[in-house]
Amino acid sequence: MAKHAVLSKTTLNFAERHGYSLEFDSSDDVISVFEGDNDCEPLFTIQHCNGEFFYRGNIYLPEEIKVELPHWMPDELRLRRVIAFVASARKA
């Protein structure tokens, strides 16, 4: 999996600062969101399509956080907002 195929360094660094790593799988255009200390299984996945991002699926994100996530993120700025939301909600 390539980490940078569709994501800017800004987004990758942002995720890292919030305790997450993002990995892009070009075979199915899926971004896996991992906790920084757990690279075995992603927290959730996001589909990339033509520069936009779509919530794809939950692996082990708590239900009360998952239901608050938008289905569609039109750009990386919105993707970063979702990462920040997940980070703050999981700390609460």
Identify the residue with better confidence: 89 or 39: 89
For the stretch 26-73, pLDDT in tens is 999 999 999 987 778 999 999 999 999 999 999 999 999 999 999 999
Q: Strands 20-25, 30-35: parallel, antiparallel or unpaired by DSSP?
A: antiparallel
pLDDT recorded at residue 39: 77
Q: Where are the alpha helices (DSSP H) in the chain?
A: 9-17, 63-66, 76-91
Distance CA 10, CA 77 (A): 10
Can you tell me the mean pLDDT for 11-29? 95
pLDDT recorded at residue 2: 52
Longest dimension (CA), the chain: 35
